[in-house]
Amino acid sequence: MEGVMGRERIDLSAASLLTVLCLLWGLNAVAIKISNQGIAPICGAGVRSLIAAGCLVSWMKLRKMVLFPGSIPDGMIVGVLFGVEFGILYSSLLYTTASSAWILLYTTPFFHAVGAHYFLTGDRLNLGKGVGLILAFCGIVFLLSEHAGLPSLGSLLGDMLALMAAIFWAATTILIKRRLVGRVSHHHTLLYQTVFSIPVLFVLSMVFGEQPIGQINGLILLSVAYQGIVIAFISYLLWFFLVHSYPVSRLSAFTFLTPVFATLAGVFLLKESLTFRLVLSLLLVSIGIYVVNKEWRPSTHKG
């Protein structure tokens, strides 16, 4: 069984980087909303992977890195999982509300923690991590529940697809940690994920009968470039560097910040209101992340 490589705890530099990544991913929600006005969602995800793969190949060629050094079967599985994750996530929005899908997607850290507990040595689930994950998730539910209606039979399929996307996300990260860390670099992890997800996403786009291109303008092109270069290339490369270096369960707790930053992006970019609900949610998420990353040791005090 592959052990946890790198450091045991999230240090200040990693925490700062994770916070920036969550901010970028939160802004990505605005970018996706813009690009969806002209490009079908699953097709857009395929274009994003295509752009990221092109950028990464160019970067690796400049550094004279071998593109496929080994572990290709595992890399293919990672890419397929990634493609299916985004395919079913975007498909879920055809049946359920975005708020419901977002809440269910961010159950992922729980699956990360459970998967790490059973499949990764040295990354065990304990009471402190469990309490922290629950606090952070409560913050997300509280933030998004204002706009999430009661589920109906018609939205049940969409909710189940969003939950499946969360499971696929966790499975991808656990597989990377178990099978790719220590065998290939984080550059290759991202390359495998983007390259092998491209055909999956375009096939899913055809299966769902998407009309790939509706309209194109400068803002849509800018949003696609942001998704492909900033998110799928730069931010994911940094994320996989962290996955290769730190325990999965501690990293995943920070992803709860993403929907909070997405809401903040709505406040500052879309002129939405800054509410008490948002402030309290950010507080709960922050406390939850702190609790997850706190070092819990049995007391040695004897009365």
- pLDDT, tens only, 243-271: 888 887 778 778 778 777 777 776 777 66
What b-and-e string marks burial along 285-294, b requiring 16 or more CB atoms within 10 Å of the CB? bbbbbebbbe
Q: What pLDDT shows up at residue 297?
A: 47
Question: What is the per-residue pLDDT across 147-188, written as a single tens digit (0 to 9) for each?
Answer: 555 556 557 777 788 888 889 988 998 998 888 888 888 899
231: nearest Cα among 39, 52, 16? 52
Q: Where are the domains of the chain?
A: 12-119+150-246
Q: What pLDDT shows up at residue 92?
A: 79
84: nearest Cα among 166, 157, 174? 166
Read off the pLDDT of each residue in 272-281 and give the average, rounded to a whole number: 71
This prediction has a pTM of 0.78
Mean pLDDT score of the chain, rounded to an integer?
Answer: 81
- The rounded distance, in Å, linking the Cα atoms of 155 and 39 is 24
Q: What pLDDT shows up at residue 56?
A: 95
